[in-house]
Amino acid sequence: MSDMRTPLVAGNWKMNLSAAEGAALVEQFLREVNLRPDREVLICPPYLAVPKLVDVCSRTMVKVGAQDVFWAEKGAFTGNVSAGMLTDAGVTYCLVGHSETRGRFGKLEVPESTVGYFAETDETCNLKIKALLPFGIAPVLCVGEAIGERKAGQTDEVIKSQLRGALDGIEGAELASLVVAYEPVWAIGTGEVCGADEAERVCGMIRGYLGELFDTDTAERVRVLYGGSVKPDNAKELFSQPNIDGGLVGGASLDAKGFASIVLSV
Ligand code: PGA
């Protein structure tokens, strides 16, 4: 990580924890770690737990994010939540394009026939980012290659096209709050972490490509996180890389002590 950027550790709770369980987890986490202003901590609970967690975190330095958003302002979009509604609930960050909403699972936990239900594309990521920015909600854009793409030598190409698609038509100046999370699909929920050298190489490539798409200032400002089986025992090595500004943590963020130890590694 670089001194220029405030490190960020984000917990993606996915479809886990009730509001009460989440509140208890945060309270235990806060007993384990003394947060300082030079490091940011974010939790992304399921929508229904957001109001309770915003309330619990309001007196702390823990920020609350959402796991998804719909791009329209309002209307006949059953089951969806808008950026305005997230702001109203006190959300300041939002994941966009997580591999699980793209239907790209590290460990397939749904029947193959239902994968198409998780239909996120680069185009919907783009619409969602454009919907979030006017509300001042920081998008956490997730990118990453599947195992077949890695084996075929397509890692960089896949990620560049995800970045290009998701950020199309947006000016560098609008992207001050953008966070990009490099999440190799094969490392998500599998226990198989990407080596720190390779994670650094890809995060550096992402920053370089943001420099090409926008400008160096924008690229230097954007925080690039690594995600995929981050655990207390591998966090320090990953977070000490110059282009890795923290982590997006799934499974290990559901354990207060483990998450505290990961936060203390940044
Ligand atoms: P994991 O998930 O830490 O459980 O691998 C990371 C993520 O999906 O953001």
Per-residue confidence (pLDDT) for residue 244, from 0 to 100: 98
Residues in contact with 96: Cβ distance below 8 Å, sequence separation at least 6, in sequence order: 68, 69, 125, 128, 129, 132, 139, 140, 141, 142, 166
Per-residue confidence (pLDDT) for residue 3, from 0 to 100: 73
26 lines ligand 1 (CB under 6 A): no
User: What is the H or E stretch that residue 85 is in?
Assistant: helix 83-89
CA 173 to chain centre: 21
By three-state DSSP, how is residue 11 classified?
Answer: strand
Per-residue confidence (pLDDT) for residue 107, from 0 to 100: 87
pLDDT tens for 61-119 read 999 999 999 999 999 999 999 999 999 999 999 999 999 999 999 888 889 999 989 98
21 is known as an active-site residue: no
d(CA 23, CA 127): 32
Q: Whose CA is nearest to atom 3 of ligand 1?
A: 250
- For residue 203, name the pLDDT band (cuts at 50, 70, 90): very high
Per-residue confidence (pLDDT) for residue 1, from 0 to 100: 64
Put simply, whether the predicted model's pTM sits higher than 0.95 gets the answer: yes
The answer to whether 185 and 143 are in contact (CB under 8 A) is: no
Catalytic residue among 98, 100, 145, 200: 98
Residue type, position 234, single letter: N
